[in-house]
Structures are given as structure tokens and as C-alpha cells.
Amino acid sequence: MDISAKDAAQQLHEILKAVRDNYDQNLEEIAYCDGEYLDLNHALEFFELDQIERLELAKQLQDNRRRRRRAKDENERLQPLYDLVTQKQELVSEVSKGRRMVQNIIRSQATRRYTPRVRIDLQPLFEEARAAANQN
């Protein structure tokens, strides 16, 4: 696998954030579907509906249950990762810290230059090599 330290740190940070965000969004979807389900059932109970309206309501109920099932199934798959992210808060902060450290190292390396200790006549050649490397 060929991945740079910067990309690995960024992806790891994004993955941890996405696990938390997706899990929380699914919880919101489940809660919404639960409330919608109650509304639809009460509509079925209290409204006088003709056959077409009952069919439409049945379709809405089916859609509601399928959306809820998708969210629940996804959260079931995310649960082990979500537990890791929420129970190990230091993991998230350490990954963020590692990401910042990698970015700082990259910035430092980009401005680093070699200064000859003895052969100062080589300095112009080092400068040319550095300029050529920065163009690539």
C-alpha cells in the first residue's frame, strides 16, 4: 500500500469523524421514522380513507419501515467502531494531534535547506538543486 503520512493522517481523522457523524445521523433518522410511524398509524386509525388513500398510506408505512431498517442496520454495523471512537476519546484527540504533527513536519521539510560547513563554495550548487527540487 502506497500512502503518504499526510494522506494517512487525514484519512484516519476523516474516518473517525464520519463514523461518529453517520451513527448520529442514523439515530436521528430512526427517531424521525418512529414519530412518523405513529403519525401514519394514527391517520389510519382516525381518518376515513378510500381504497386509494389506504394504499398510499400503506406505501408510506412501507417506506417508513424500510428507511428505519436501513438506518438500524447501518448503526448495527457501525456500533463496534462507534464504541471505539466514543469510549476512547483520547484516540480521536491523538489522531488529530498526529495529523497536526505530520502537517508541521511537512511544512518544516519544505523550508529546510542544507548549509555547507566547510565547503561553502558548494552553496550555490545546493541552492540550484533545491530550486530544481521545488519545481518538481
Which of 39-48, 82-91, 114-123 shows the highest mean pLDDT?
39-48
Q: Tell me the whole-structure pTM to 2 decimals.
A: 0.70
Q: Which long-range contacts (CB under 8 A, 24 or more apart) does 78-86 make?
A: 78/19, 78/22, 78/23, 78/26, 79/23, 81/19, 82/19, 82/20, 82/23, 85/16, 85/19, 85/20, 86/20
**Taking the domains of the chain in order of start, what are their residue ranges?**
5-135
- Alpha carbon distance 112, 123 (integer Å): 14
Residue-level pLDDT at 136: 65
Instruction: Enumerate residues 6+ apart whose C-beta is below 8 A from 22.
Output: 74, 78
Comparison of pLDDT for 130 and 73, the residue scoring more: 73
